[in-house]
C-alpha cells in the first residue's frame, strides 16, 4: 500500500468547511501551506492530524463531524462520483464505488473493504500510517451512515463501530424507507451528473495512467542501474581475481621451495599445511571467477546444437572414468525436436558435466547411469539418474554434492547459478544407498525445430 497522503482537493474541502463552523480560515490556510508541495497532488496525512487538533480546540467534536460529513456528502466536487450510483439503485454498489474509485482519488494509502452480513453491510477502512487522528474516522463513520440518502433512502443504523490507531471497523443496517422528495431531486441531478462525470473520469484515468508510466520509468531506471552495478561487480571481481592469483602463485612457489629445502619435521608439516590451504583458496578463487560469466556472454555465444550430439560429447569426455568403474551409461532421447539453441560449452561442460561427474564418482562399480532427454510442457528436461551412494536430505536440498564428497561443493553452486542465467532450473531427488536423480530444465522457448531456421516461440 502507498504511504498515506491526502489529496489537495480533500484538504481544500475540509478547510472550506471551517467557515460553516464560524471559525477563521487563516490558521488552517497557514497549516495547509506548511505541508503543501507544489510538485505533488497530495500532502502528508500529518496535515489531517494537525487539522483535527486545531479544529477541536475551537469547535465541539459532534458539530465538526456533522458539518464536515454533510459537506462531504453534498459537495458538488464529490457528488458527481456518488450520484452515478443512483441509476443502479444499489446501496452496496455505492460503498463499492467509494472503495474502488472515490477513496482512490481522494487519498493514497487508504483502503475500504466492503462485505455483507445478512442484511447488514460491514465496512473496514484502514490507513497506512502509524496513527491517524480519530476525527478522520469519525467523520467517515457519519458519512457512511448517511450514504443511503444519496439514493433517496433514510440514513442507516449503526450496529457497531470500533476505531483504532489507523483503522475503523463499522457495521450498519440500511433502512429500506424512501425519502420521496430526495429521490426526485437526486434523479434529476443524476442525469446531469452522468454527463459531468465523463470528463472527470477521463481526467482521473489519465492521471492514474501518468502515475503508472512514471513508476514504470523509475523501475526501468533502477533495473538499468542494477545491470550496470552487476557489470561493474563482475569487472571488479575479475580484476581482484587476477591480483589474488598472482599472490597465490607466489606463495605456492615459495611453499614448494621451502618443502625442498626444509629439514625440520615440524617446519615441513607447517609448510605442507600452508600449501594445501593455498590450493583450496586457488580452487575457490578460480570457481568464483568462472561464476562471473554474465548473461550477455552466455546468450551471445548461443548456437544451434543437436540434442544427441551434446549428450554424446558429455559421455565421451568422461570415457576413461566410465571404463575405469565399468559403468553402463544408457542414453534415452525422446524429443520431437532434434535440435535446440544453447551455449554448448557452458551447458555441456559447466552444467551437465558437474552433475554427470558426481553420478560417476558416487556410482558403485558395474553400476548403471541413465541420461534421458524429454520435452515436458515448455521445457526440455535432461535427467541424470544413478544407482550410487545417494545424498542425505540436507545436502540434496542444497544441491551441493553427494555424500562422502571431499570437495567444497563449488561445482554444484556454479552449475546452478549458470543454469539460472540460462533461465533454467534443477531439481534433485535422492535416497542414501539407492541413488540420485537430477532433472535439469531448459525453457522450450529457446528451442528450434529440426525443420526451421528460426526460433519456436
Domain residue extents for the chain: 5-178, 224-290, 297-446
The Cβ of residue 316 has, within 10 Å, a number of other Cβ atoms equal to 9
Integer Cα distance of 435 and 388 in angstroms:
5
Integer Cα distance of 446 and 451 in angstroms:
15
Integer Cα distance of 83 and 395 in angstroms:
64
Non-local (6+) Cβ contacts of 335 within 8 A are 307, 373, 374, 375, 380
The Cβ of residue 302 has, within 10 Å, a number of other Cβ atoms equal to 16
- Weakest-pLDDT range from 198-212, 250-264, 306-320: 198-212
Q: Output the CA–CA distances (angstroms, integers) from residue 111 to 4, 5, 169, 185, in the order listed.
A: 10, 12, 12, 31
- Asked if the model's pLDDT at residue 226 lies above 60, the reply is yes
Integer Cα distance of 418 and 412 in angstroms:
10
What pLDDT is recorded for position 170? 95
What pLDDT is recorded for position 62? 92
What pLDDT is recorded for position 400? 42
pTM of the model: 0.43
Residues in the chain: 457
The Cβ of residue 159 has, within 10 Å, a number of other Cβ atoms equal to 13
Could you report the per-residue pLDDT of 20-36, keeping only the tens digit for each?
888 999 999 999 988 88
Among left, alpha and beta (phi > 0; psi -120 to 50; other), residue 89 is left
Average pLDDT over residues 226-235: 65
Q: Output the CA–CA distances (angstroms, integers) from residue 272 to 220, 253, 280, 283, in the order listed.
A: 53, 12, 13, 17
Q: What is 297-446's CATH number?
A: 3.30.565.10
**What is the CA angle 159-95-207, rounded to 5?**
145
Q: Which CATH code, of 3.40.720, 3.90.1690, 3.90.1520, 3.40.50, is assigned to 5-178? A: 3.90.1520
More confident residue, 364 or 1: 364
Average pLDDT over residues 94-101: 82
Say if CB 131 and CB 165 are below 8 A apart: yes
Query: Strands 107-108, 120-127: parallel, antiparallel or unpaired by DSSP?
Result: unpaired
Integer Cα distance of 184 and 371 in angstroms:
79
- Asked if the model's pLDDT at residue 342 lies above 80, the reply is yes
The Cβ of residue 201 has, within 10 Å, a number of other Cβ atoms equal to 15
The rounded mean pLDDT for the chain is: 78
List residues bridging with 438 in a β-sheet: 384, 428
Integer Cα distance of 110 and 448 in angstroms:
50
CB-neighbour burial class of residue 68 (10 A; exposed 0-12, middle 13-18, buried 19+): buried
Average pLDDT over residues 401-409: 44
Integer Cα distance of 124 and 168 in angstroms:
6
Average pLDDT over residues 80-104: 67
What pLDDT is recorded for position 196? 57
What pLDDT is recorded for position 195? 55
Say if CB 142 and CB 69 are below 8 A apart: yes
Average pLDDT over residues 139-147: 90
Could you report the per-residue pLDDT of 237-246, keeping only the tens digit for each?
666 666 677 7
Amino acid at each position: 500500500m502507498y504511504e498515506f497522503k491526502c489529496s489537495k482537493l480533500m484538504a481544500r474541502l475540509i478547510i472550506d468547511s471551517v467557515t460553516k463552523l464560524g471559525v477563521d480560515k487563516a490558521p488552517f490556510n497557514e497549516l495547509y501551506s506548511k505541508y503543501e508541495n507544489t510538485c505533488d497532488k497530495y500532502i502528508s496525512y500529518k496535515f489531517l492530524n494537525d487539522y483535527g487538533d486545531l479544529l477541536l480546540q475551537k469547535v465541539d467534536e459532534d458539530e465538526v463531524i456533522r458539518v464536515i460529513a454533510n459537506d462531504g456528502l453534498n459537495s458538488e466536487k464529490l457528488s458527481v462520483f456518488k450520484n452515478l450510483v443512483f441509476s443502479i439503485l444499489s446501496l452496496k454498489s455505492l460503498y463499492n464505488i467509494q472503495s474502488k474509485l472515490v477513496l482512490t482519488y481522494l487519498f493514497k494509502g487508504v483502503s475500504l473493504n466492503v462485505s455483507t452480513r445478512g442484511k447488514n453491510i460491514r465496512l473496514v477502512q484502514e490507513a497506512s500510517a502509524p496513527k491517524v487522528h480519530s476525527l478522520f474516522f469519525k467523520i467517515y463513520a457519519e458519512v457512511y451512515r448517511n450514504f443511503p440518502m444519496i439514493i433517496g433512502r433514510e440514513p442507516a443504523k449503526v450496529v457497531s463501530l470500533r476505531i483504532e490507531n489507523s483503522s475503523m471497523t463499522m457495521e450498519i443496517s440500511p433502512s429500506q424507507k424512501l425519502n420521496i422528495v430526495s429521490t426526485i431531486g437526486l434523479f434529476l441531478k443524476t442525469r446531469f451528473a452522468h454527463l459531468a462525470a465523463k470528463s472527470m473520469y477521463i481526467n482521473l484515468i489519465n492521471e492514474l495512467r501518468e502515475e503508472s508510466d512514471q513508476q514504470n520509468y523509475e523501475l526501468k531506471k533502477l533495473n538499468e542501474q542494477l545491470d550496470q552495478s552487476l557489470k561493474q561487480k563482475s569487472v571488479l571481481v575479475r580484476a581482484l581475481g587476477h591480483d589474488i592469483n598472482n599472490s597465490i602463485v607466489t606463495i605456492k612457489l615459495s611453499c614448494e621451495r621451502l618443502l625442498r629445502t626444509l629439514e625440520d619435521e615440524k617446519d615441513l608439516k607447517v609448510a605442507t599445511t600452508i600449501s594445501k590451504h593455498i590450493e583450496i583458496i586457488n580452487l575457490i578463487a578460480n570457481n568464483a571467477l568462472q561464476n562471473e560469466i554474465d548473461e550477455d556472454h552466455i546468450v551471445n555465444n548461443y548456437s544451434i546444437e543437436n540434442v544427441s550430439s551434446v549428450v554424446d560429447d558429455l559421455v565421451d569426455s568422461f570415457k576413461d572414468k566410465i571404463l575405469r568403474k565399468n559403468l553402463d551409461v544408457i542414453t534415452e532421447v525422446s524429443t520431437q525436436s532434434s535440435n535446440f539453441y544453447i551455449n554448448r560449452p557452458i551447458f555441456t561442460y559447466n552444467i551437465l558435466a558437474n552433475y554427470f561427474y558426481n553420478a560417476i564418482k558416487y556410482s558403485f562399480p558395474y553400476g548403471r547411469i541413465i541420461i534421458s532427454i524429454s520435452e515436458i510442457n515448455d521445457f526440455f528436461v535432461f535427467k541424470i539418474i544413478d544407482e550410487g551412494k545417494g545424498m542425505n536430505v540436507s545436502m540434496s536440498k542444497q544441491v551441493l554434492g553427494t555424500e562422502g564428497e571431499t570437495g567444497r561443493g563449488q561445482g554444484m553452486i556454479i552449475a546452478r547459478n549458470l543454469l539460472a542465467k540460462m533461465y533454467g532450473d534443477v531439481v534433485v531427488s535422492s535416497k542414501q544407498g539407492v541413488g540420485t536423480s537430477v532433472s535439469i530444465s531448459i525453457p522450450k522457448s529457446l528451442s528450434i525445430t529440426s525443420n526451421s531456421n528460426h526460433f519456436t516461440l
